[in-house]
Amino acid sequence: MTRLSVNINKVALVRNSRGGNLPDLVQVAKDCEAFGAEGITVHPRPDERHIRYSDVPLLKEIVQTEFNIEGNPSDRFMQLVLDNQPDQCTLVPDSPDQLTSDQGWDTIKNHDFLTDTVHALHEKGVRVSIFVDPVEQFVEGAKKVGADRIEFYTGDFAKAYTKDPQKAVAAHRRCALLANKIGIGINAGHDLNLDNLKFYKDNVSELLEVSIGHALICDAMYYGLQNTIQMYLRLLK
């Protein structure tokens, strides 16, 4: 079955907009798990515009399912991850001023850097996923640097889905079969939502986990958090 990890960045963004601790990020993480989420994802950025570095140890202490920290492996980010040892670290090549992640790693060009980074994380017992576009050579490159999983960037899929779903998912389907063949696990995330999630899951072989934040939090404004998480879980089960 495909696991649902809820990205709570947007909850932190609302909290930060007014100062104080409303909404309480720790309580929201607890509630997401109580409502059925099978993981909690955070993506701290250098400017801490949503998740703060100080949030991470608090979340590490209370998350009972699977804790996933994603981000660009700068020295500061790596120290945060190594100090807190989440279940999974997802390496994302976003620049410090980037609004949101919009592309994956060139795992060929960055082979040496990624190999060293994966090794450092494995020494602390952290599973490593590498954010990639659905390109065969980058999937193979992720395997060569020692990653346990890849996470397909699904933003382009989501944009193309409304016009031609089959064309939109073709590269993901093809690269998933390759990943299955060479023995690397598959995660996915970015702009997956209630409209496109089931189609994506049905077409990507052996999809282990999806990380969803923005769309899920937007849906929760209408349907409520508990109901929304259950709606997403039904699409995955």
Q: Report percent pLDDT > 70 for the chain.
A: 97
Q: Which of 33, 38, 66, 190 is catalytic?
A: 190
Distance from C-alpha of 48 to C-alpha of 196, rounded to nearest angstrom: 30
The answer, yes or no, to whether residue 133 has pLDDT greater than 60, is: yes
Q: Which of 33, 38, 66, 70 is catalytic?
A: 70
Q: Does residue 111 carry a catalytic annotation?
A: no
pTM: 0.95
Q: Are 155 and 191 in contact (CB under 8 A)?
A: yes
Q: Does residue 190 carry a catalytic annotation?
A: yes
Distance from C-alpha of 179 to C-alpha of 143, rounded to nearest angstrom: 9
Band (96; pLDDT cuts 50, 70, 90):
low
The tens digit of pLDDT for each residue in 22-45 reads 999 999 999 999 999 999 999 999
Distance from C-alpha of 89 to C-alpha of 36, rounded to nearest angstrom: 22
Q: Which of 33, 38, 43, 209 is catalytic?
A: 43
Residue at token pair 């649902």: 4
The answer, yes or no, to whether residue 149 has pLDDT greater than 90, is: yes
Band (94; pLDDT cuts 50, 70, 90):
confident
The tens digit of pLDDT for each residue in 164-216 reads 999 999 999 999 999 999 999 999 999 999 999 999 999 999 999 999 999 99
| Residue-level pLDDT at 232 | 98
| Residue-level pLDDT at 100 | 61
Q: Which domains does the chain have, with CATH numbers?
A: 3-236 (3.20.20.70)
Which is more confident, 50 or 96? 50
Distance from C-alpha of 171 to C-alpha of 88, rounded to nearest angstrom: 25
Query: Residue 133 is encoded by which pair of tokens?
Result: 């576009």
Band (50; pLDDT cuts 50, 70, 90):
very high
Q: Does residue 61 carry a catalytic annotation?
A: no
Q: Residue 227 CB: number of other CB atoms within 10 A?
A: 12
